[in-house]
């Protein structure tokens, strides 16, 4: 009787552990990890748009590039351009919409606000945001600051 109870408990535990997994958590739906450690001099000509609130630039770093957005006088946000919806899709590239009001992946048509959260699907997960740190006119972007 005890042996049967142990088998049932083991089977139940096994079903709970394997049943808790779903396709949205597998590696094919994750943005690949890359080390990011970028130092930006905000006085450089190419970064002039970051001198104004709401300004943005795109740099070649991260997986598919990084969009840097100036939110306030001291807050900069840095988003991975790799869309959070089907990130392994070759066209899953996020960009700032022509209106400048939100971020969009033209491939899947997902839209994100400038806090990285989806405002129109099919994406349900936020964009990957890198840490940013401002010291004078130097902005550091990374995932291990």
Q: Does domain 24-142 have CATH number 1.10.1040.10?
A: no
Per-residue pLDDT, 26: 56
d(CA 69, CA 57) in angstroms, rounded, equals 7
pLDDT tens per residue, range 77-95: 999 999 999 999 999 999 9
Per-residue pLDDT, 66: 98
Contacts 24+ apart (CB under 8 A), 105-109: 107/83, 108/83
Q: Specify the DSSP element, H or E, that contains 14.
A: helix 2-19
Taking only the tens of pLDDT, the chain with its 145 residues reads: 544 434 444 444 443 333 333 334 556 688 999 999 999 999 999 999 999 999 999 999 999 999 999 999 999 999 999 999 999 999 999 999 999 999 999 999 999 999 999 999 999 999 999 999 999 999 999 998 6
- Is the separation of the CB atoms in 139 and 50 below 8 Å? yes
Per-residue pLDDT, 50: 97
Domain ranges of the chain: 24-142
21 CB-near residues (< 8 Å, 6+ apart): none
């Amino acid at each position: 009787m005890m042996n049967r109870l142990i088998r049932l408990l083991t089977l139940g535990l096994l079903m709970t552990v394997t049943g808790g997994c779903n396709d949205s958590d597998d590696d094919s739906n994750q943005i690949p990890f890359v080390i990011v450690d970028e130092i930006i001099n905000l006085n450089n000509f190419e970064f002039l748009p970051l001198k104004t609130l709401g300004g943005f630039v795109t740099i070649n770093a991260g997986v598919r590039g990084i969009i840097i957005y100036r939110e306030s006088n001291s807050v900069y946000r840095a988003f991975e351009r790799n869309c959070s919806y089907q990130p392994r899709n070759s066209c899953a590239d996020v960009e700032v919409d022509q209106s400048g009001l939100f971020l969009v992946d033209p491939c899947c048509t997902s839209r994100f606000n400038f806090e990285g959260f989806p405002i129109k699907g099919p994406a349900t997960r936020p964009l990957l945001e890198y840490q940013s740190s401002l010291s004078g006119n130097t902005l550091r972007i990374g995932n291990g600051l």
